Amino acid sequence: MSQNNIPYKTYLEESEMPKQWYNVRADMKNKPAPLLNPATLEPMKFEELRPVFCDELIKQEMDDTTPYFDIPQEILDFYKMYRPSPLVRAYFLEKYLDTPAKIYYKFEGNNTSGSHKLNSAIAQAYYAKKQGLKGVTTETGAGQWGTALSMACSYFDLDCEVYMVKCSYEQKPFRREVMRTYGASVTPSPSEKTEVGRKILAEFPGTTGSLGCAISEAVEAATSKEGYRYVLGSVLNQVLLHQSVIGLETKTALDKIGEKADIIIGCAGGGSNLGGLISTFMGEKLRGEADYRIVAVEPASCPSLTRGKFAYDFCDTGKVCPLAKMYTLGNGFIPSANHAGGLRYHGMSSVVSQLYEDKLMEAVSVEQTEVFEAAVKFARVEGILPAPESSHAIKVAINEALKCKETGEEKTIVFGLTGTGYFDMVAYQKYNDGEMSDYIPTEEELEKGFATMPVIDK
């Protein structure tokens, strides 16, 4: 097919939507390391995880061998409300950059929650409902996950308790109100509602909270009440599994227009959108069927992959969660106030970490001012106002397209545009007023974070 025949947007038919999620772990030679029980340092067993997570989700979490999982009909029906999502040919961005590269982006911001997180929220709510639970608890940082989960819970008539990092709760009142509109209760974290919250408040009075601390509170809230479980919006294997719809749709759309990706780029916070976008392509790579350059982009202020350690660490500040082996900056690492809230997590998905350790993918870090510069360029030429998190991928896609301009190579670049930035206008305001600053942690600051990690020789 000639280039001119490629539409600006490629949509799939409903009948072409994936009916199964793809589990990339099945094709990995080196499997991601199992979650460990912090008391015994033995791999967590199904029974030990049952008080925290839904049964069906634990099975998905622990399954490293089944390549495909059927997507239940109820979830497929919900997906149809906002999927398939378009694969967009960024003709205007290409023209603006004057590059011979072909740029595509998979746009996941076309739903009220404004991000890809709804893909997993609806799955997790479904399995909680099916198990006959009353409700779920969770944490939210920037608010996207809490919003997605509150939408999913209202659909299945489940109670939804959100612990929202205090500074976001105060800075993003509109996000909070979207969650409440969908029926969720939202508590600023750390709070007096949980033991761990009270402990953190006593130790650090006046703290504005962190994601790791909100996780500790949400887990305690779930395990101390009958009929509740905890759900998480990123990092876990099950979340990457659900997010595989992004990559599966992307692959089908590319095949439909006769295109093959050379470079695939995604932003990485906990690794779920990236893991989901790359999964099916990584599968081909692992099976030796095709080759791709795969690039994770993280903020220079929270550089888990590019400057972190690959080791067992706690997923939360309160150290109530199991240990995960991952690239981490240490559970006690507090990132500076970067505006890409969804990327401010000390760790990284075990799957993404293992793939990176095995050199099957690359990682780069970028600074926030250059990210917003890319975001504004993109908004002006492509029309979509991108989320700050997504703009990390935009920045690197632009860099790669400009390299092609120098070499004259006609590479095909695909990146994940994970969401919209309507609730991030304070950040855009800072950028527009020329008040945005960059922060790169020093070696000393990183050492402080590493010092909070448990010493485990596994």
Ligand X SMILES: *Cc1c(COP(=O)(O)O)cnc(C)c1O
| Closer Cβ to ligand X, 133 or 366, answer by number | 366
Kindly state the helix (H) or strand (E) to which residue 88 belongs, with its residue range.
strand 87-89
Give min distance, CB of 230 to ligand X, in A.
17
CB of 143 to ligand X, least distance (A): 8
Contacts for 3-11: CB closer than 8 Å, 24+ residues apart:
3/102, 5/257, 6/89, 6/257, 6/259, 7/89, 7/257, 8/88, 8/89, 8/91, 9/86, 9/87, 9/88, 9/89, 10/86, 10/87, 10/88, 10/89, 10/253, 10/256, 10/257, 11/84, 11/86, 11/253
Cα dihedral 328, 333, 334, 335 sign: negative
When the beta carbons of 197 and 270 are compared against ligand X, the nearer one is 270
CB of 96 to ligand X, least distance (A): 23
Q: Which is nearer to ligand X, 99 or 141 (CB)?
A: 141
Residues in the site for ligand X, rule: CB under 6 A?
A: 115, 117, 144, 234, 267-274, 342-343, 387, 389-390, 418-419
State which residue, 78 or 415, has the beta carbon closest to ligand X: 415
Nearer to ligand X, 23 or 194 (CB): 23
The torsion angle over the Cα atoms of residues 446, 449, 450 and 456, rounded to 10 degrees, is -160
Q: What is the largest CA-CA distance in the chain?
A: 65
Query: What's the token pair of residue 342?
Result: 């969804």
For the CB of residue 40, give the shortest distance to ligand X in the complex, in Å: 29
The CB-of-199 to ligand X minimum distance in angstroms stands at 27
Rounded (10°) CA dihedral 57, 62, 63, 69 = 10
Q: Shortest Cβ distance from residue 182 to ligand X (Å)? A: 16
β-bridge mates for residue 188, sequence order? 164
Closer residue to ligand X, CB minimum distance, 84 or 388: 388
Give me the least distance between CB of 39 and ligand X, in Å please. Answer: 28
Nearer to ligand X, 209 or 271 (CB): 271
Tell me the angle at which helices 211-223 and 195-203 cross, rounded to the nearest 10 degrees. 150
| Rounded-to-integer distance, Cα 268 and Cα 346, Å | 11
